[in-house]
Amino acid sequence: MTLRLGDLAPNFVAETTEGTIDFYEYLGDSWGILFSHPADYTPVCTTELGAVAKLKKEFEKRNVKVMALSVDGIPDHMNWIKDINETQNTTVNFPIIADQDRKISTLYDMIHPNASENFTVRSVFIIGRDKKVKLIIVYPASTGRNFDELLRVIDSLQLTADYSVATPANWKNGEDVVIAPAIKNEDIPAKFPKGHKEIKPYLRMTPQPNL
């Protein structure tokens, strides 16, 4: 199965470091991030799991729940968590899935034979409140994930889900946004009372509407 943007994220029940979890029940009405690791005790992933733990308050502000996955078992996960907490000076505060049979990895197309027949690639899925996939990124083993960028993307996804706007290149929360092309000029004042600037007929900017 190949997941694409807009697809319904498959539900699953999994054994995790926080007990047996039904993915949909865990998410509830929150957004979600599911991200995978090829195996426990990998150096780059150790730093990533520590970084995510430190960002817990940022994810909570955005109503986002996090869940990680590795193909190793719970005993290894628990020992790895001790290493993460020690080396990254944090406390892992989200569940890590044990996917030894690779059922969830296969469900989410996390195993790419050109990279490895046995281990998951380092995938990230952002899932909306409607349980649909909003973003997919696959990283090589050598490059650590940028979780500040993922927070930026979540800000954009949540904003554009509620307003008829898009976010321009390198946009950060608080900056001007692009008015959707479908919005007619005569409808802009009612929809965007903060005003707008027309750079080109197809490029119209307005202050971020939810601030």
Sequence ranges of the domains in the chain: 13-143, 163-206
CA-CA-CA-CA torsion for 2, 17, 94, 78, nearest 10 degrees? Answer: -110
Tell me which CATH homologous superfamily contains domain 163-206.
Antioxidant, Horf6; Chain A, domain2 (3.30.1020.10)
User: Which has more confidence, 155 or 1?
Assistant: 155
Give the CA angle between residues 197, 200, 202 to the nearest 5°.
100
pLDDT (mean) for 166-181: 97
Query: What is the pLDDT averaged over residues 129-149?
Result: 93
110 pLDDT band (50/70/90 cuts)?
confident
- Name the CATH code of domain 13-143 (choices 1.10.3720.10, 3.40.50.300, 3.40.30.10, 3.40.50.1970): 3.40.30.10
Look at strands 197-200 and 19-22 and give their pairing.
unpaired
The pLDDT value recorded for residue 39 is 86
Which among 33, 45, 64, 150 is annotated as catalytic? Answer: 45
pLDDT for residue 140:
83
Of 35-39, 88-92, 136-140, which one has max mean pLDDT?
88-92
- The pLDDT tens digits for 6-33 are 999 999 999 999 999 999 999 999 999 9
| pLDDT band at 118; cut points 50, 70, 90 | low
Q: State the burial class of residue 188 (Cβ atoms within 10 Å of its Cβ: 0-12, 13-18, 19+).
A: middle
Angle at which helices 74-88 and 43-54 pack, to 10 degrees?
70
Name the pLDDT band for 120 (thresholds 50, 70, 90): low
Concerning whether 52 is annotated as a catalytic residue, the answer is no
Beta strand pairing call for 31-37 and 133-139: unpaired
**Tokens 């690791």 appear where?**
37
pLDDT confidence of residue 88? 98
CA distance 24 to 11: 6
pLDDT tens string 46-98: 999 999 999 999 999 999 999 999 989 999 999 999 999 999 999 999 999 99
pLDDT recorded at residue 6: 96
User: 81 vs 89, 123, 126, 135, CA distance in Å?
Assistant: 11, 20, 23, 27
